[in-house]
Amino acid sequence: MSDSVLLEVKALSKRVRDAQGELTILHELSFSLQAQTSVAIVGASGSGKSTLLGLLAGLDTPSSGSVRIQGQELFALNEDERAALRARVMGFVFQSFQLLPNLTALENVMLPLELRGDRDAAEQARQMLRRVGLGERLNHRPRVLSGGEQQRVALARAFVVKPALLLADEPTGSLDHATGAQVMELMFELNRAEGTTLVLVTHDPAVAARCQRQLKIEAGRLVA
């Protein structure tokens, strides 16, 4: 395991205004993650878990505080620069799969490779789809794939770029228990093989227990 710090969060806060005034969603969260580790973000619905994940990805901006990834201050970058950083070092897995419906499984997995200019995108995508057990489903579109198969495509798309950091938001939330367990087994297997740092939002204590570390959020505060 690397001793280097991949991700460093300092005094990260998020506040929004509504009809009742100002609402604080996250209260000055601070933590750091070593490279090649796995961490589960746990807490009740509405505690701020997904908001935190969006900030770590640079998809949302904080009210105060900082996020550094590989030493780079995320919010010192403009939107285009943050998008370039995401393409270079991050992978994503969502509860709702987020596959493009008009693209085949192969084309969905090729997409992030093509966006960064890889010349052998098709072959890399084929190899990764074989690794997740979908070598016979390359030319199928999402609508004819089961939920478990769609999430396997999403895993292939996330890992094919060999991300330093993988962010996963309730990746089994749309799946039945047995299928979800298979998908999580595959995610942890790929994570170990690729040496990725995994940040996983989950409500499932069994999934959280498989991570090397847990961060518990209550009402926007880090309590463990």
Q: What is the pLDDT of residues 62-109, one digit of tens each?
A: 999 999 999 999 999 999 999 999 988 999 998 888 899 999 999 999
Answer positive or negative: Cα dihedral of 191, 168, 103, 146.
positive
Please give the share of the chain, as a percent, with pLDDT higher than 90: 71
User: Quick one: average pLDDT of 40-56?
Assistant: 92
Distance in Å from the first CA to the final CA of the chain:
23
User: Quick one: average pLDDT of 33-57?
Assistant: 92
pLDDT at 1 over 50: no
Nearest to 154 by CA among 170, 203, 164: 170
User: Quick one: average pLDDT of 16-35?
Assistant: 91
Tens of pLDDT, residue by residue over 104-146, are 999 999 999 998 888 899 999 999 999 999 999 999 999 999 9
Instruction: Kindly indicate the confidence band of residue 2, based on its pLDDT and cuts at 50, 70 and 90.
Output: very low
Min mean pLDDT across 31-40, 150-159, 171-180, 215-224 is at 171-180
Instruction: Kindly indicate the confidence band of residue 183, based on its pLDDT and cuts at 50, 70 and 90.
Output: confident
Instruction: Kindly indicate the confidence band of residue 3, based on its pLDDT and cuts at 50, 70 and 90.
Output: low
Cβ-proximal residues to 41 (8 Å cutoff; 6+ apart), any chain:
49, 52, 53, 199, 200, 201, 202, 214, 215, 217
91: amino acid identity, one letter? G
pLDDT at 208 over 90: yes
Rounded to the nearest integer, the mean pLDDT of the chain is 91
**Domain spanning 36-60+78-214: CATH 3.40.50.300:** yes
Tens of pLDDT, residue by residue over 141-165, are 999 999 999 999 999 999 999 999 9
